[in-house]
Amino acid sequence: MSDVPYIALANSSDIINGYDDGTFRMDRSATRAEATVMLKRYLDAKNKKPVLNELLAKFKGELDVQKFSKTQLESLPWWFGVCKSRCFNLSNGA
């Protein structure tokens, strides 16, 4: 698969860790919570302060928080103001 090198790089950079069973489940799309955690980890790795309130305010959709990502998401400064109740939705293209 052509995306394997990118997944390996993201994994070695601690942006993605896979699931508890050691898989990355390439046959399914990332959830909004997973995508948000990946974005946070990427920004942390690049030492960037995320200023995303304006951007995230444009997106709509409920964000279902999974156990693995709750701690990561709550550490984001914009989490409580924007993303806790309204956030982007990867499945609808927003």
**Per-residue pLDDT tens for 11-70?**
898 898 888 898 888 888 887 778 878 888 887 787 765 555 455 555 545 444 555 556
**More confident of the two residues 5 and 66:** 5
DSSP code of 6?
Answer: H
For the chain, which residues make up each domain, given as ranges? 4-92
CB atoms within 10 A of CB 73: 21
Question: Which one, of 28, 42, 39, lies nearest residue 83 by Cα?
Answer: 39
d(CA 42, CA 34): 12
d(CA 19, CA 56): 26
